[in-house]
Amino acid sequence: MRSWAEIDLAALERNLDLIRRAVPPKMKYISVVKADAYGHGILPTATRLMQSGVDLLAVANVKEAAEIREMGSGWPILVLGPLLEGEDSALLEYDLTATLSSPAEISRFQEKAKSKGQKVKVHLKVDTGMGRLGIWWEDARALVQKIEKVDEIELRGLLTHFADPSDLDFTSLQRERFKKIYDSIPSRLKADMMVHADNSSSLLHLERDSIFNAIRIGLLQFGVSPKKESLFSDLPVEPVLSFHSKLAVVKDLPAETTISYGRQHQLTRKSKIGIISAGYGDAIPLHCGNRAQALVRGQSYPIIGRVTMDQTVVDLTDAPDDLLSGEKVTLIGKQENQEILLSKLADDANTIPWELLCSITKRVPRVYTTNRE
């Protein structure tokens, strides 16, 4: 293989166990696996998560939900994104839970459920200040009253989304707005309702009398730690994904040679360079040139020049003389005592871990380690 991503499903399971033990037993675990499980591969990942005991899988759209459902029935799946009108029938066909945000969706879901003689399960999303999906919080109580009158719709959850967890005052305001809506809901509807707002970055503390009984976990379960303020920042999760490639060419170049498109790097001495057989068409970010590092034989070497679609140049001048083509190169992950974290490569590329993971393309094979310890 020219480049590949290794996915350690045993590490994923260990991370899940750590997270489970860090929250109260009553807290339900909503595992977010949208965008192909953040590049980890939705089918193997979702299978391992459900086998490991998550309470609910959350995806972005019907297509992702259908992929999981094709593996088997019974696993609860929440579609976080809005459904287009032509997708409503999938809720019943695949036994999915919808995220409801508007009166129009109530009418659509009711009509579809009546035609099939079934019920549609929903989580009501409240916009408490994100300015995106969800019914505006001041209008949410009226929407709950509409749902109460529709026999074909079952209210299974209530959720919101924090706009900026680092802004404690605004997040507190969002929590207050959300609690007002929760408190206005009749007790009979709350009995089996999942109430969730926090993800791994926004959860700062656990209150004994909190209204929340579920938490959405995304990157944390894949070993990407949140910011220091989070309750989970010190949780020793393990990276699940590593990314590797190979040296295609090793050659010498004279001093003052410029490297790659745009001539953004000039050699200051006679140098040995390596051509990595991967570029931004695989998973190496375009903007990490002259900033990021690569590991070869457990040592770190600088990426130089602009990253191109299919190749990336690394400066091997200080590497052992016997380095040849075919040598393994690690861009994310460990070699011997050295490690490049996903978050570090994202910083070097001036992006975020979410985008970096989602940019791993189809031509990069995923290699899964599945053994339990």
- Cβ contacts of residue 108 below 8 Å, gap of 6+? 85, 88
SS (H, E, C) 141-154: HHHHHHHHCCCCEE
∠ at Cα 2 (219, 319), nearest 5°?
90
Quote the CA–CA distance of 303 and 211 in Å, as a whole number: 49
Quote the CA–CA distance of 264 and 284 in Å, as a whole number: 17
Long-range contacts of 105-110 (CB under 8 A, 24+ apart): 106/143, 106/146, 106/147, 106/150, 106/153, 109/152, 109/153, 110/150, 110/152, 110/153
**29 in active site:** no
* Contact by Cβ (8 Å): 122, 156: yes
∠ at Cα 216 (215, 222), nearest 5°?
120
Q: Kindly calculate the radius of gyration of the chain based on its CA atoms and give it in whole angstroms.
A: 24
Q: Which residue among the candidates 114, 116, 227, 261 is catalytic per the annotation?
A: 261
**261 in active site:** yes
| One-letter amino acid for residue 75 of the chain | W
Q: Which residue among the candidates 34, 112, 125, 246 is catalytic per the annotation?
A: 34
CA distances from 184 to 8, 86, 208 (A): 44, 33, 21
Identify which of 179, 193, 178 has the alpha carbon closest to the alpha carbon of residue 148.
193
| One-letter amino acid for residue 11 of the chain | A
The SS3 call for residue 347 is: helix
| One-letter amino acid for residue 8 of the chain | D
Active-site residues, by number, are 34, 261
